[in-house]
Structure 1
Amino acid sequence: MEPARIQDLPTAERPREKLAHFGPAALDNAELLALFIRTGTKGRSAIQIGRDLLQKYGSIGALGRMPVTALAKEKGLGLAKASQLAAAFELGARVAREQVHLTPLDSPERIYDFLAPQLGHQTQEHLVVLLVDTRLHHAGTISISMGTVNETIAHPRDILRPALTHGAYGFILAHNHPSGDPRPSGADETMTRRIQEAAELMQLRFLDHIIIGRPSPARQAWFSFREAGVIR
């Protein structure tokens, strides 16, 4: 049974000392969270609080998308600790955004890796447009619509306008499926064909439409309309 206090662990197993000796990669997610939570409650160490949070929300990514006000209500946190966690998640997100500017969005996998932290666990469909430059580097993300649990509605003009007004070389359309299954619906395919036709008329590069799902042993976590031959 895990001790109720971190100081009761052997020195080499305490998160801070473990990180100092072996580096941050040696810590599991609960131990990393414990470094920000710092102190536990009666009968629960900071590590156990971290484990409980991960069990409740399912992943670091899902936990990181929780608003501070919701985190502050979790037993063992409060506003100060919740704010520290939110700041840590935001720093990580900013590092990721800086790195993506150096990586071309030239494959469905890279687009998925970029968008999954933002869209993969949302409970409503969210439609976004990614603008890219001539080297296919990310030049901006525009939120188009937030739909119901299973439907997003957007007119082609709303999707093409950001690319036109920002003078982008091209754009990528993306939305999530809250079910986690990225297979397209008939409405998804119809919308994609309409955007393809409108983009050709406006001489805009429509690079792909990606549906963001969640990983599963039976399928990929994304669907690419370009890979499927719908986008030419």
Structure 2
Amino acid sequence: MFLARLPRDQWPRERLFSLGPEALSLCELLAILLHTGSRGMDVLELGGMLLEEFGDLTGLARAAPEEFLAVKGLGEAKVANLVAALELARRLRSESAKTGRNETWRSRVASWAENLATEEREFILALFLDRKGRILGEKQVSYGGLDGAFLDLPFLLRRAVRLDAAAMVLGHNHPDGTPEPSREDRELTLLLSRRLRMLDMELFGHFVLAGGRFVPVEVGEERRKAGESACSSG
């Protein structure tokens, strides 16, 4: 798409004011942020090149300023506009995700999913709840890399005991965006459920966070019963 070939009323800025920002494509929104093109490339072409380089909005959000500066046609002014806009979006998500007095644990897990949608590392987070399911506390338990994160289970359980929690919710993100729980996810769910029952606590859920969604990790009825039996006999 070339800007010079479009009627003036179809230019990104004009379309934004006449139709609203929600009507614009990602390429058009980038063109407005970039303001001008570069030598031999108009602003819409430059926006399209950025999308080819980084893939989509998630890829743009994950990029560091140095990566943008390495793109031909992007100077410090353009990169500053782009990075500032992405940071404003991150801060908006963070503010909207702050735990409120009446926030439910499910809404908090939804906030986790949204905030971690663009993360390249795996994070493990825990919510500690009272007997009515109200949030007593929250803890980022661990973070790792693309291949996973290590969970310090004794540390997690000590934290729950100190807070006098009656239940817990666990969540971890899949940086590759795949929402399906792995075999290791199911094994961790079963293990944590058994350990919590030994402390007279309950696991309300373990969730995979991916692509802005949260998916419960199901261990299967037979395995769950086997875990409860082992717990009660042990």
Q: TM-score range by the shorter chain?
A: 0.7 to 0.9
Q: Percent identity?
A: 26
Task: Point out the more displaced range, 187-196 or 176-185.
Answer: 176-185
| CA distance in structure 1 between the partners assigned to 2:14 and 2:6 by the alignment | 11
| CA distance in structure 1 between the partners assigned to 2:161 and 2:43 by the alignment | 50
Amino acid at match of 2:77: A
| CA distance in structure 1 between the partners assigned to 2:165 and 2:66 by the alignment | 37
Higher helix share: 2
The equivalent residue for 1:115 is: 113
The equivalent residue for 2:140 is: 142
| CA distance in structure 1 between the partners assigned to 2:36 and 2:211 by the alignment | 33
Q: 1:69 to 1:227 in 2, by over 3 A?
A: same
For structure 1, the residue ranges without an aligned partner over 5 or more in a row are 216-220
For structure 2, the residue ranges without an aligned partner over 5 or more in a row are 229-234
Alignment of 1:177-188 (within 5 A): 177-188=174-185
The answer on whether the counterparts of 1:106 and 1:136 sit within 8 Å (CA) in structure 2 is no
Task: Give the TM-score taking structure 2 as reference length.
Answer: 0.73
The answer to whether structure 1 residue 16 and structure 2 residue 13 are counterparts is yes
Q: 1:153 to 1:130 in 2, by over 3 A?
A: closer
| CA distance in structure 2 between the partners assigned to 1:35 and 1:60 by the alignment | 15
Following superposition, the deviation at residue 224 of structure 1 comes to: 0.8
The equivalent residue for 1:128 is: 124
Following superposition, the deviation at residue 146 of structure 1 comes to: 0.4
Following superposition, the deviation at residue 192 of structure 1 comes to: 1.6
The equivalent residue for 1:106 is: 106
Match of 2:47 among 47, 50, 53: 50
Following superposition, the deviation at residue 24 of structure 1 comes to: 0.8
The answer on whether the counterparts of 2:124 and 2:149 sit within 8 Å (CA) in structure 1 is no
The answer on whether the counterparts of 1:129 and 1:171 sit within 8 Å (CA) in structure 2 is no
Q: 1:180 to 1:199 in 2, by over 3 A?
A: same
Summarize deviations over 1:104-161 as a string: whole Å, max 9, x none.
4427xx8457425524563x5x1321437777679656151204x4343322124445
Summarize deviations over 1:53-72 as a string: whole Å, max 9, x none.
22222210221121112122
The answer on whether the counterparts of 2:39 and 2:73 sit within 8 Å (CA) in structure 1 is no
Following superposition, the deviation at residue 179 of structure 1 comes to: 4.8
RMSD of Structure 2 on Structure 1 (CA): 3.6
Amino acid at match of 2:174: H
The answer on whether the counterparts of 1:131 and 1:140 sit within 8 Å (CA) in structure 2 is yes
| CA distance in structure 1 between the partners assigned to 2:135 and 2:8 by the alignment | 45
Alignment of 1:167-206 (within 5 A): 171-204=168-201, 206=203
The alignment covers a number of residue pairs equal to 219
Task: Give the TM-score taking structure 1 as reference length.
Answer: 0.73
The answer to whether structure 1 residue 225 and structure 2 residue 217 are counterparts is yes
SS in 2 for 1:106: helix
Q: 1:48 to 1:162 in 2, by over 3 A?
A: farther
Amino acid at match of 1:59: D
